[in-house]
Amino acid sequence: MSLVRCDGVVQIYRAQDVEVVALRDVDLTIAAGETVALLGPSGAGKSTLLWLLAGLLRPSAGRLWLDGADLGRLDQRRLDRLRATHIGMVLQNPARNLIGHLSAAQNVAFAQRAVRRDRRRARELLGRVGLADAADRPAGRMSGGEQQRLALAVALANAPRLLLADEPTSQLDEESGRRVIELVRDAAADGTTAVVVTHDPAVGEALDRTVTIRDGRVGAEGRRGEDFVVVGREGAVQVPPEYHHLLPPGSMARIEELQDGIALRRAEP
Ligand code: ADP
């Protein structure tokens, strides 16, 4: 069963009199328990998609479902409730996930306010991110790496159906990064679906599936080490950048029919 479904999602930011189309016609289905690495160049729209899935933004057009609920159409109270019970989020700037004057343990407890308080889970999570001895330290006094690990423990504190994490290993050394990946995979085994924006190849390799966003669209997907282009609405296909030397943007190609697909051959002008 799918936990997340995006159907023709468009996000347009309006700042003064300019409009930025951050996402255009994103179609994406994510199964319950699946772990997805969201890849793509900077400015492609990855964080925007994460914010939409978190219910922090409402799509300009198209629809998004989380666990059967249409996120764009819930009233604010229901959306807040769904977010507190169903979603755990790690924002890119780790300090923004935390309440600085509260201790690590209090931050985790606060994240459990909408669900049943579970001290054992809280302690276990702090241990899993290597902060067992830091439970009483104020979050605001921690290093960037410690805050990043604490932010993941906080995001998982309510045993969310959906974990959304933006670059959760960007400030971590290899060993801590590995523990973070392990924790995400273990959470998935317990039923938490994960969508992780990352530039870290180790994260991409460790998760079930990669989805590459380019220019606001789903351009490619990877599963078990194999990469595929995704045929979008109206048959649009993005030629991956590593083939631009053969088929540069703006070039014309001849289509050749094969038994099981088509080949594109550059037409000499
Ligand atoms: P990524 O996470 O892949 O780097 P983003 O989702 O942050 O991409 O941004 C996608 C596009 O939307 C970029 O062109 C970015 O400049 C623009 N953008 C993001 N947030 C805002 C905002 N709050 N207001 C205006 N433009 C924005």
Assess whether 223 and 184 both reside in one domain.
yes
Residue 69 lies in a domain: no
Of the candidates 94, 109, 89, the residue with the CA atom closest to the CA atom of residue 148: 94
Condensed to tens digits (0 to 9), the pLDDT of residues 234-254 reads: 898 999 999 999 999 999 999
Residue 170 maps to which CATH number? 3.40.50.300
Nearest protein Cα to ligand 1, atom 16: 43
Q: Which residue carries 């198209």 as its tokens?
A: 62
How many C-beta atoms surround the C-beta of residue 98 within 10 A?
23
Nearest protein Cα to ligand 1, atom 5: 45
Assess whether 209 and 261 both reside in one domain.
no
Domain, as residue range, for 257: 244-269
Residue 49 CA to ligand 1 centre (angstroms): 10
Assess whether 53 and 149 both reside in one domain.
yes
Counting from 1 in the atom list of ligand 1, the atom nearest the Cα of 44 is 3
> How high is the pLDDT of residue 234?
86
The mean predicted confidence, pLDDT, of the chain is 93
Counting from 1 in the atom list of ligand 1, the atom nearest the Cα of 47 is 2
Nearest protein Cα to ligand 1, atom 10: 45
Least confident segment among 12-16, 49-53, 117-121, 173-177: 117-121
> How high is the pLDDT of residue 117?
82
Condensed to tens digits (0 to 9), the pLDDT of residues 114-145 reads: 888 888 889 999 999 999 999 999 999 999 99
Residue 55 CA to ligand 1 centre (angstroms): 16
The token duo for 120 is: 């054992």
Residue 196: pLDDT band with limits 50, 70, 90: very high
Assess whether 158 and 225 both reside in one domain.
yes
Residue 152 lies in a domain: yes
Question: Given a cut of 80, is residue 269 above it in pLDDT?
Answer: no
Residue 228 CA to ligand 1 centre (angstroms): 25
Residue 90 lies in a domain: yes
How many C-beta atoms surround the C-beta of residue 24 within 10 A?
19
Assess whether 217 and 261 both reside in one domain.
no
Question: Given a cut of 80, is residue 260 above it in pLDDT?
Answer: yes
Of the candidates 45, 38, 17, the residue with the CA atom closest to the CA atom of residue 214: 45
Residue 7 lies in a domain: no
Assess whether 231 and 268 both reside in one domain.
no
Assess whether 83 and 117 both reside in one domain.
yes
Work out the average pLDDT over 88-111.
93
Assess whether 89 and 187 both reside in one domain.
yes
Counting from 1 in the atom list of ligand 1, the atom nearest the Cα of 51 is 6
Residue 13 lies in a domain: no
Taking CA atoms, 4 is separated from 67, 138, 193, 207, 269, in Å, by 6, 35, 9, 17, 44
Assess whether 250 and 232 both reside in one domain.
no
Residue 25 lies in a domain: no
Q: Are 154 and 139 in contact (CB under 8 A)?
A: no
> How high is the pLDDT of residue 119?
86
Residue 94: pLDDT band with limits 50, 70, 90: confident
Count how many domains the chain has.
2
Mutate-to-test residue for ligand 1 from 13, 52, 211, highest number of ligand atoms within 8 A of CB: 13
Assess whether 264 and 162 both reside in one domain.
no
Assess whether 137 and 173 both reside in one domain.
yes
Q: Are 73 and 37 in contact (CB under 8 A)?
A: no
Assess whether 220 and 257 both reside in one domain.
no
Q: What is the pTM of this model?
A: 0.94
Nearest protein Cα to ligand 1, atom 23: 13
